[in-house]
């Protein structure tokens, strides 16, 4: 598979990788099939995501997906942020993702949803 320019750029120079001190919500999950691990931390004020960061050990597709997702949800209402369609991420990645790699795209979505639904405070 040849990665798109977007995937290569977001993997090499992510805009939103890191962690937040004392986040309001955080969640981490792993894909047991490939070992991708992503954590997303969020700040929430007045029902909106005011800041978010991701970190983990993952493939280029998963890392790029997480970085694009954070960019997409900043400033959005919690409900809107939790319901970003997979198709939006696929479009933004500008790549033909094989079915066997789809979990690489969707893992950050499920992690964000876990953070926003459970609001597990970061450990």
Q: Where are the domains of the chain?
A: 5-118
Q: pLDDT truncated to tens, each residue of the chain (123 aa)?
A: 578 999 999 999 999 999 999 999 999 999 988 899 999 999 999 999 999 999 999 999 999 999 999 999 999 999 999 999 999 999 999 998 999 899 999 999 999 999 999 855 444
Which DSSP string corresponds to 41-103? EEEEETTEEEEEEEEEE--HHHHHHHHHHHHHHTTSBHHHHTT--HHHHHHHHTS---GGGHH
Q: What is the CATH number of domain 5-118?
A: 3.90.1010.10
Angle at 112 between CA 107 and CA 118, to 5 degrees: 120
pTM of the model: 0.92
């Amino acid at each position: 598979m040849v990665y798109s320019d977007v995937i290569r750029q977001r993997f090499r120079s992510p805009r939103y990788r890191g962690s937040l001190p004392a986040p309001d919500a955080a969640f981490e999950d792993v894909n047991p099939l490939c070992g991708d691990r992503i954590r997303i931390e969020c700040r929430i004020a007045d029902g909106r995501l005011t800041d978010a960061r991701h970190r983990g050990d993952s493939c280029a597709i998963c890392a790029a997906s997480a970085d694009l997702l954070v960019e997409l949800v900043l400033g959005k209402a919690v409900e809107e942020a939790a319901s970003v369609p997979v198709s939006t991420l696929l479009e933004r990645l500008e790549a033909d993702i094989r079915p066997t790699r789809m979990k690489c795209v969707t893992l950050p979505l499920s992690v964000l949803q876990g953070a926003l639904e459970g609001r597990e405070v970061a450990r």
